[in-house]
Structure 1
Amino acid sequence: MAIDTLEPVITPDLVWKQVRHRARVTLLVPFAIVAYLVYTWFAFGVPDLLMRAQPERAVILATDTVAYKVHVTRSFRTNEFEVATEGERTATYDNSDVPDWVRLDGDNAMIDLGDGYSVEIVGKTALFTIPGYGVIEGTATANGVETVLPESDAPDWVKVDPRKLDVRPTLDRRLQVTKTKIEVHNYFGGWENFWFPFRSPLWGMSFSELYALALSSDRMDPDYSNLWFIVHEFLENPDWQHGTVFVALFETIMMAVLGTLTAAIFGLPLAFLAARNFTPSKILRFGTRRLFDFLRGIDMLIWSLIFIRAFGLGPLTGALAIAFTDTGSLGKLFSEALENIDNKQVEGVRATGASQIQRYRFGVIPQILPVFVSQVLYYLESNTRSATVIGALGAGGIGLLLVETMKTSRDWENTSYIIILTIVVVILMDQTSGWLRRKLIEGK
């Protein structure tokens, strides 16, 4: 005798309850999200962070990454003018060969800052002409600075102090007066002395002039050909250290490659021990899987700190940190791929009388090769970025140079240069890995 299945009876009360339940959920979920965001806003101290923020300093630092300044300084200790790029002694102009916007005349000077802005220095007095505002006068005295403004109230870009006058009407123009000196800053777009040092005979040459020089038989240095002399001057630029940066980039790439390949080489055989269909022993499988959890459970940065203490500074410590962490990650991924293979292909190879190694070679490896290649290449891309962070801790490479440039708080253009090069390397690694993936997996 057949028993009829009982079906729930849909009543208006049941429909109404469902509608009310969905309405409560619809209201509670956004409310919970908003409550969480409000909690994190105060728990993470965002209001205090905003109060301590210095947006004007951030703007100055951002300007420094894309521009450089030329200092025109009148020192009252030496009673001399000095015109220098970024205020560096190694980039100081001869007084007979200063830029055309600076005119020196004994103790006086006229500095044209463009767009109607100009600074006239007469003895110990600086007269800053500002279009639409007037002339600000600052005079250095034995006790500080005397300031005369066109108006009684000083605008925000004028900092008047008995010890110092600081006028910055625009981001690219600045005047500072103290009792010891008058200093004018004029900003220009670009990176100063990027190609060659200020004192190099190649400084200021155009690309066409450099090309003609490289083909010329008249050597600038008897010990080098002109082409090698150009390359040498570029790589040994003391301000930008191109040669050192390129070597550090190469170390970072090698750190990532060595660490990733080592992890793949050790992770694949260990994956067979962790796969259920290849290792009958539960104890062996359990121990191998816990090993993977241990290796990837400790962050790469922690491994790096451990190896730095154990082996000292150097790229090897970074490669070991990458290898240990990725052995756990890749081993887990490979073991899961092994457990999902098609056993029919393995049985077909077995039917031909193949040995166990041959069954692995022709029945298993071809099935996991796409996963193997794609995961290894992905981790290689990721580890190129990770190697930069590890290098900042002391493992060397480009990360260490990046931290050194940031410590000075004045060479932000060098910091931008290193960051751009790192991004370019990551993009190249991504393109290369994509090409290899197509070659090895798709056969294109």
Structure 2
Amino acid sequence: MATDTLEPVVILDDVWRNVRRRAWITVLAPFAVVAYLVYTWFAFDVSDLLSRAQPERAAILATDSVAYKVHVTKNFRRGELEVAIEGERTATYDNAEVPDWVTLDGENAFVDLGDGYTVEIKGKTAYFDVPGYGMIETTATAKGVETRLPEGEVPDWLKDDPRKLDARPSLDKRLQVTRTKIEIHNYFGGWENFWFPFRSPLYGKSFSQLYALALSADRLDPDYSNLWFIVHEFLGNPDWQHGDVFVALFETIMMAVLGTITAALFGLPLAFLAARNFTPSQVLRFGTRRLFDFLRGIDMLIWSLIFIRAFGLGPLTGALAIAFTDTGSLGKLFSEALENIDNRQVEGVKATGASQIQRYRFGVIPQILPVFVSQVLYYLESNTRSATVIGALGAGGIGLLLVETMKTSRDWENTSYIIILTIVVVIAMDQSSSWLRRRLIEGKKSG
């Protein structure tokens, strides 16, 4: 009777302890998360990072990546008044071709920036009329600039310095004055000279005009047909370098393909040595598995740096870096797939009198084929992105061109162009991988 009476008490005591334990976990878990976030805030010095952030700089770069600007420049050293796209000498308008929002009058000019913003250049003085603020009068002198501002508080978009005036009331309108020049920037959406160079005879032509020109027998260049001349002018565009970009993109794809295929060809036979049900020698299995750990334990970027030092720059170094890392990763995945096969299918093939190679071919490979195809295609898609990063370190390809466009703050539209092309290639690789996976594994046509 005493034992029967104590049993409910013991059960209730255990339940109470479990409730208290869960209550403590409920309290401590959020506290641990908050403590970790506080630690990372100070460990990573987030406050200093936020204080040094320049959101206005980011907005300018974002604008430059999707728009281009036309410069109206009065250069006092050369005594010239020029209108040029992106300030390029090769994209400078003749005086008779200037845009309709620019009026030239000898050494003077009137620029209508739209929305009521106007700039008038008279000699060495610029008059910037800003709606809602007033007239900014700036004169270039031998020592710097002298500026007369409207009364009131100086706005944030206006930087008045004795050496330079920088007025940017909006992202698409800007005036800069120094002792050597007056420069006006007017932004327009789109990418300048994307299809053809500014001085090309094809510049400014519509697609219908280009189509008619391609079919015409009257050649623009006696050495080329019109169709080839159009292609040549597009690929040889010095501003966008389409030909070089496409070649670099092809190198990146080949880097990923060569590295992935090499890793798969080496990883599969090594996987048999690492699989417990295929290699009875524990020493051989241990050594192969440690080889996989060594290859995939060193990051792909580190391998690429090693091979660049050993073999120099070039796509081959990137392919080797991908092959080394993925041999370890794919070998481990393949060995695990081999250890999980159904031995009854292998025994069935063996019962027919098949040789060792035939048992592998008809009893093992069909079972691991879905894993093999899926993993190889996934790594191929992933390595397309990785090859871009490896190329940026010096292995070549599209990554190297991407870094070169990011070195200056004036080529962000080229950076956007390369990034978009890279995303398109990754999407194409993903779609191709899905189609191949369905055809090879499911035996179905893509719908």
Report the TM range for the smaller structure's normalisation.
Answer: over 0.9
Q: Which amino acid aligns with 2:253?
A: I
- How far is the alpha carbon of 1:106 from its aligned partner? 0.9
Q: C-alpha deviations, 1:29-77, integer Å up to 9, x for none?
A: 1110111011011101111111111111111111100111100011112
Q: Aligned partners of 1:332, 1:92: CA distance in 2, in Å?
A: 60
Normalising by structure 1, report the TM-score.
0.97
What SS does the aligned partner of 1:151 have? coil
Count the aligned residue pairs.
440
Matches within 5 A, 1:260-279: 260-279=260-279
Q: C-alpha deviations, 1:263-287, integer Å up to 9, x for none?
A: 1001111111111111111111111
- How far is the alpha carbon of 1:13 from its aligned partner? 3.6
Aligned residue for 1:168? 168
Q: Aligned partners of 2:78, 2:96: CA distance in 1, in Å?
A: 18
Q: C-alpha deviations, 1:317-357, integer Å up to 9, x for none?
A: 01011111111110111111011000110111111111111
Q: Which amino acid aligns with 2:28?
A: L
Matches within 5 A, 1:134-149: 134-149=134-149
Q: Aligned partners of 1:316, 1:8: CA distance in 2, in Å?
A: 74
- How far is the alpha carbon of 1:8 from its aligned partner? 8.1
Equivalent pairs: percent with the same residue? 85
Normalising by structure 2, report the TM-score.
0.96
Q: Aligned partners of 1:164, 1:391: CA distance in 2, in Å?
A: 40
Q: Aligned partners of 1:187, 1:314: CA distance in 2, in Å?
A: 38
Q: Which amino acid aligns with 1:397?
A: G
Matches within 5 A, 1:253-332: 253-332=253-332
Q: Which shifted more, 181-190 or 143-152?
A: 143-152
Aligned residue for 1:412? 412
- How far is the alpha carbon of 1:143 from its aligned partner? 2.5
Gaps of 5+ in 2: 1-5
Q: Which amino acid aligns with 1:380?
A: L
Q: Aligned partners of 1:384, 1:143: CA distance in 2, in Å?
A: 54
Gaps of 5+ in 1: 1-5
Task: Answer yes or no: is 1:429 the counterpart of 2:429.
Answer: yes
Aligned residue for 1:345? 345
Task: Answer yes or no: is 1:181 the counterpart of 2:173.
Answer: no
- Aligned-residue Cα RMSD (Å) equals 1.4
Matches within 5 A, 1:34-433: 34-433=34-433
Q: Aligned partners of 1:215, 1:227: CA distance in 2, in Å?
A: 8
Q: Aligned partners of 1:83, 1:225: CA distance in 2, in Å?
A: 34
Q: Which amino acid aligns with 1:264?
A: A
Q: Which amino acid aligns with 1:52?
A: R
- How far is the alpha carbon of 1:9 from its aligned partner? 5.8
Q: Aligned partners of 1:7, 1:13: CA distance in 2, in Å?
A: 10
Q: Which shifted more, 192-201 or 11-20?
A: 11-20
Q: Which shifted more, 138-147 or 89-98?
A: 138-147
Runs of 4+ off more than 6 Å: none
Q: Aligned partners of 2:10, 2:279: CA distance in 1, in Å?
A: 53
Aligned residue for 2:443? 443
- How far is the alpha carbon of 1:79 from its aligned partner? 2.1
What SS does the aligned partner of 1:82 have? strand
What SS does the aligned partner of 2:77 have? coil
